[in-house]
Amino acid sequence: MLLTTSLPADGEMDTALDGAYYQLTRRGGFVASNTYAPTPRKKQTQYFLSAGSVLKNRYRGEVYRIGAQGNHPVLRYSKPIFLGVNL
């Protein structure tokens, strides 16, 4: 069972979702940092697996770079935390 929202890396997606029960959560918004850009910039929108999703296969996840037009990188952490459950 997934305890956090997270997203498998591209190469892990098919294996991670095989036999899984999950819901998706949208992650988006704006970068609100005066050092990034003079005005707020839109972040890259992603859809994560929601906390409480049940998966048969574990995955490592990824740290994604979601801001491309600013003075510093903007990262989104999507590493999972799993809880073992016997069904």
For residue 67, what are the domain limits?
10-77
Residue ranges with strand state E in 1-87: 24-27, 30-31, 41-42, 46-49, 63-67, 74-77
Residue 28 lies in a domain: yes
- pLDDT at position 41 is 86
Residue 19 lies in a domain: yes
- pLDDT at position 36 is 87
Q: Which phi and psi angles does 81 have, rounded to 5°? A: -125, 120
Residue 65 lies in a domain: yes
- pTM attached to this predicted model: 0.85
Low-confidence residues of the chain: pLDDT under 50: none
Domain count within the chain:
1
- pLDDT at position 70 is 80
Residue 84 lies in a domain: no
- pLDDT at position 37 is 85
Residue 59 lies in a domain: yes
Residue 55 lies in a domain: yes
- pLDDT at position 33 is 83
